[in-house]
Amino acid sequence: MSEGEEKGLKTFSLEEVAEHTIAKGEDKSIWILIHDRVYDVTKFLDDHPGGKAIMILNAGMDSTEMFEDIGHSSDAREIMKEYLIGELQEADKKGTVDTGPKSWASTSAGNEDNPGWTQWILPAGIALLAAIGYRTVFGGN
């Protein structure tokens, strides 16, 4: 028994998910796959901050890579739980794992609260060279 089955989630095949790409009319049904989990986002289309077009474009297919590349927040991941309806059957799973939102901040080794001189030395050097070049070309007194 898989983890999803233990949690009471239905199991779907890729073919079943691929059938849910209809964005208009009474039969509207948009499902997406993220980390081997199936989400029915039909009711979320109008509320999606990135617009419904991107969700319709990814309907019925694995959207894991795109979802992670965008860098969705922990709030977005929490909202997703409301739309979770199942998981992929074992034969179709890719085995991707949700590692949480990306950290966009870069820190140098050492004190993470104070990144140090390495964060400003290159821009300062470029500014200094630009100032010297300006004075040389335009002959400032």
Contact 80, 34 (CB under 8 A): yes
For residues 89 and 13, is the Cβ–Cβ distance under 8 A? Answer: yes
For 85, the enclosing helix (H) or strand (E) is: strand 84-88
Percent of the chain clearing pLDDT 70 (strictly above): 79
- By the 8 A CB rule, do 23 and 56 touch? yes
pTM: 0.65
* Residue 140: pLDDT band with limits 50, 70, 90: low
Instruction: Assess whether pLDDT exceeds 80 at residue 7.
Output: no
Is the predicted pLDDT of residue 47 greater than 60, yes or no? yes
106 pLDDT exceeds 50? no
pLDDT at 110 over 60: no
* CA distance linking residue 134 with residue 25, whole number of Å: 63
Reply yes or no on whether the pLDDT at 55 is more than 80. Answer: yes
Residue predicted with more confidence, 19 or 70: 19
Instruction: Specify the CATH class of 3-92 in words.
Output: alpha beta
Arithmetic mean of pLDDT over the chain: 81
